[in-house]
């Protein structure tokens, strides 16, 4: 862990309670906890193929799907297209699952019927020939029959995963029918044949590579493949998934597995911006950014890219491009190993943060105190985002309250514990930020009016993170936009 916890001593005039700060990001921690990811280094060669991933809104309407077909056939280089479920579907499936878990079969049935009706309408506009519509309707029938059968079975966690998998299975199969109708040659690759996770729910990259390359070599003359994002098989061989928003992860894993030339993530926004466009008036798109910077941004709220999806691409040095389906000509953002330029690139915020302070005079001059504290979080599989320490206290943040009660109870063995909910991490990200002249001065001067609960600096040279009460988030982002970007 010492690799990722890198402390620097700082003393800001207005926040001199902070003696040292530690910071590490989830992706680094995950690499540390799952060293098998490092084992995947013996690549043979780069397969000349690109990955194109389209999210829920990009396939959410029949006309959008038609546009996706155009986008993927613009060039004839070999490619694997990864699709999410139609927008709204996974949420609906989660709802159905929840009803079933609560034994509310009536509501579950109503939701299933409503979703089915949505797909019947979708098919009508997706395909234009009777033959293709019949094929598409048969697919819809097959999957909704499955959901209706589930109504009769007693609910289990495995069944829940089966339900959640229906969205990506439907979107890819329907898309395949449309491609076929258009005479576009392609192969539908079942992700369940090659995407696997281990007993810790970590993707098995070497295994994915082996399976996927074997499948691809069976289709040497095929130039276009379509597969499902999000779904996979777990260690027990059951259907599972890569967690919500996991289609980006699939794309990145597939790209890494075959060492693709590029991994394109197509969404409905034109790349990453320097600040949250929903909150501040003026934002600028970021043209180029490094994996390290993107990892920090992705975790801290830049919703455009799922944070887990950075490491596979980074490990295999596959550039990731963030592109906009609604504006395909726009440059978007490219994420590469190199940073391009030095300095602050973006500001991002993450809500729903809980700060926990553990205060104990036993910490004074003691060793092993932090380990004990960390072990409590490890026991409850809760990852820590920010850490700041003083001589007699340590504050950490977490983004899940799943085991908060148990964690607090155990921490109380080591000192007085205080919990602040409703906090927001505001993260300032940029290549070698720490070397940028007067950066801290500019930063803190611009937010002088904001009460800051924690400051984390020095964990990586690419990031400064602040913890503020969520009520100050908007103001903080606006002030930083002015102070750091002059916007
Ligand atoms: N359909 C899944 C979800 O909504 C995966 C994804 O879209 O990335 O979470
Ligand atoms: Mg997504």
Catalogue all structural domains in the chain, each as residue range(s) with its CATH number: 8-33+344-485 (3.30.2130.10), 47-260 (3.40.1160.10)
* Mean pLDDT by groups of 10 residues along the chain of 487 residues: 30 28 36 47 71 97 98 96 98 97 96 98 98 98 97 92 98 98 98 97 97 96 97 98 95 97 91 88 91 81 73 95 93 90 89 95 76 95 93 93 96 95 95 87 96 93 94 97 93
For the Cβ of 243 lying below 6 angstroms from any atom of ligand 1, the answer is no
Our answer on whether the CB atom of 90 is closer than 6 Å to any ligand 1 atom is yes
Q: Which atom of ligand 1 has the smallest separation from the CA of 245? A: 8
Ligand nearest to the CA of 87: 1
C-alpha 241 – ligand 1 centre gap (Å): 9
Evaluate the CA torsion angle 244, 250, 253, 259 in order and state its sign.
negative
Q: Please tell me the residue having the least CA distance from ligand 1 atom 5.
A: 245
Q: Which residue from 53, 54, 64, 85 has its CB within 8 A of the most atoms of ligand 1, so it is best to mutate?
A: 85
Q: Which atom of ligand 1 is nearest to the CA of 243?
A: 9
What's the pLDDT score for residue 300? 67
Backbone angles phi, psi at 168, to 5 degrees: -70, -35
Q: For residue 37, what are the CA distances in angstroms to 12, 203, 204?
A: 38, 9, 8
User: Would you state the pLDDT for residue 436?
Assistant: 84
Chain CA centroid to CA 156, Å = 26
Q: Which atom of ligand 1 is nearest the CA belonging to 168?
A: 1
**Alpha-helical segments (H) within 288-398:** 291-299, 310-316, 369-379
Nearest ligand to the CA atom of 247: 1
Q: What is the pLDDT of residue 45?
A: 67
Instruction: Tell me 255's DSSP state.
Output: H
In which residue are the tokens 């003696």 written? 19
Q: Is 249 in the pocket of ligand 1 (CB under 6 A)?
A: no
What ligand is nearest to the CA atom of residue 166? 1
3-state secondary structure 157-169: HHHHHHHHHHHHH
Calculate the CA 31 to chain-centre distance. Answer: 15
Q: What angle do CA 354, 360, 366 make, to 5 degrees?
A: 115
So what's the pLDDT on residue 302? Answer: 56
State the DSSP code for 4.
T
Most informative mutation of 230, 254, 308, 325 for ligand 1 (most atoms within 8 A of CB): 230
**C-alpha of residue 465 to centroid of ligand 1, in Å:** 28
Q: For atom 6 of ligand 1, which residue has the closest CA?
A: 245
With a 6 Å cutoff on the Cβ, whether 231 touches ligand 1 is no
Whether 247 is in the pocket of ligand 1, judged by its Cβ within 6 Å, is yes
Q: 122: CA distance to ligand 1 center in Å?
A: 19
Using the mean position of ligand 2's atoms as its centre, give its distance from the Cα of residue 194 in Å.
21
Q: Which atom of ligand 1 lies nearest, measured to the CA of 250?
A: 8
The CA-based angle 57-157-230, given to 5 degrees, is 30
Report the Cα–Cα distance between both ends of the chain, in Å, rounded. 38
Is there an atom of ligand 1 within 6 Å of 244 CB? yes
In the reported structure, the alpha carbon of residue 3 is separated from the centroid of ligand 1 by a whole-number distance in angstroms of: 33
Query: Buried b vs exposed e over 205-229: b needs ≥16 C-beta within 10 Å?
Result: bebbbebbeebbeeeeeeebbbbbb
If you measure from the C-alpha of residue 305 to the centroid of ligand 2, how many angstroms do you get, rounded to a whole number? 7
pLDDT at 22: 28
Q: What is the 3-state secondary structure (H, E, C) of 123-189?
A: HHHHCCCHHHHHHHHHHHHHHHHHHHHHCCCCCCHHHHHHHHHHHHHHHHHHHHHHHHHCCCCCEEE
Residues with CB under 5 A from ligand 2 (ion): 55, 245
In this structure, the residue with its CA closest to atom 8 of ligand 1 is 245
- Which of 55, 84, 115, 171 has most ligand 1 atoms within 8 Å of its beta carbon, as the pocket-test mutant? 84
How remote is the CA of residue 230 from the centroid of ligand 2, in Å?
10
Hey, how many other C-beta atoms are within 10 angstroms of the C-beta on 413?
A: 11
**How many C-beta neighbours within 10 Å does residue 148 have?**
14
Structure letter (DSSP) for residue 404: H
pLDDT of residue 134: 98
């Amino acid at each position: 862990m010492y690799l990722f916890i890198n402390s620097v001593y700082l003393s800001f005039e207005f926040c001199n309670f902070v003696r040292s700060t530690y910071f590490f990001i989830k992706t680094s921690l995950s690499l540390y906890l799952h060293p098998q990811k490092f084992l995947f280094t013996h690549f043979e060669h780069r397969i000349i193929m690109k990955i194109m991933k389209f999210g829920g809104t990009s396939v959410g309407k029949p006309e959008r799907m038609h546009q996706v077909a155009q986008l993927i056939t613009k060039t004839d280089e070999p490619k694997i297209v990864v699709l999410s479920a139609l927008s709204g579907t996974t949420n609906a499936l989660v709802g159905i699952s929840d009803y079933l878990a609560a034994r509310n079969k009536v509501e579950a049935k109503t939701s299933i019927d409503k979703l089915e009706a949505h797909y019947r309408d979708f098919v009508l506009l997706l395909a234009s020939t009777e033959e293709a519509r019949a094929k598409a309707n048969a697919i819809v029938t097959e999957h909704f029959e499955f959901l209706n059968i589930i109504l009769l079975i007693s609910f289990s966690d495995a069944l829940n995963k089966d339900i959640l998998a229906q969205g990506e299975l439907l979107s890819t199969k329907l898309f395949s029918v449309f491609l076929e109708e258009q005479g576009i040659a392609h192969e539908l690759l079942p992700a369940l044949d090659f995407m696997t996770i281990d007993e810790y729910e970590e993707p098995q990259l070497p295994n994915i590579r082996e399976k996927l390359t074997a499948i691809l070599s069976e289709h040497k003359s095929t130039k276009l493949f379509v597969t499902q994002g999000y779904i996979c098989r777990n260690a027990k061989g059951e259907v599972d998934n890569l967690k919500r928003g996991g289609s980006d992860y699939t794309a990145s894993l597939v790209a890494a597995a075959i060492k693709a030339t590029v991994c394109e993530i197509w969404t409905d926004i034109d790349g990453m911006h320097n600040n949250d466009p929903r909150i501040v008036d003026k934002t600028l798109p970021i043209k180029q950014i490094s994996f390290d910077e993107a990892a920090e941004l992705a975790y801290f709220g830049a919703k455009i890219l799922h944070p887990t999806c950075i490491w596979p691409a980074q490990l295999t040095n596959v550039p990731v491009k963030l592109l906009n389906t609604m504006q395909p000509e726009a440059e978007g953002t490219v994420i590469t190993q190199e940073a391009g330029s030095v300095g602050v690139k973006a500001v991002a915020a993450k809500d729903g943060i809980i700060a926990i302070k553990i205060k104990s005079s036993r910490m004074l001059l003691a060793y092993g105190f932090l380990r004990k504290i960390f072990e409590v979080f490890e026991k409850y599989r809760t990852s820590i985002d920010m850490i700041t320490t003083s001589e007699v206290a340590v504050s950490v943040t977490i983004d899940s309250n799943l085991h908060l009660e148990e964690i607090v109870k155990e921490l109380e063995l080591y000192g007085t514990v205080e919990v602040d909910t409703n906090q927001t991490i505001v993260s300032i990200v940029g290549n070698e930020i720490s070397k940028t002249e007067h950066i801290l001065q500019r930063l803190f001067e611009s937010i002088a009016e904001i009460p800051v609960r924690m400051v984390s600096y020095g964990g990586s040279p690419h990031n400064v993170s602040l913890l503020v009460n969520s009520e100050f988030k908007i103001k903080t982002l606006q002030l930083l936009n002015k102070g750091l970007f002059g916007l």
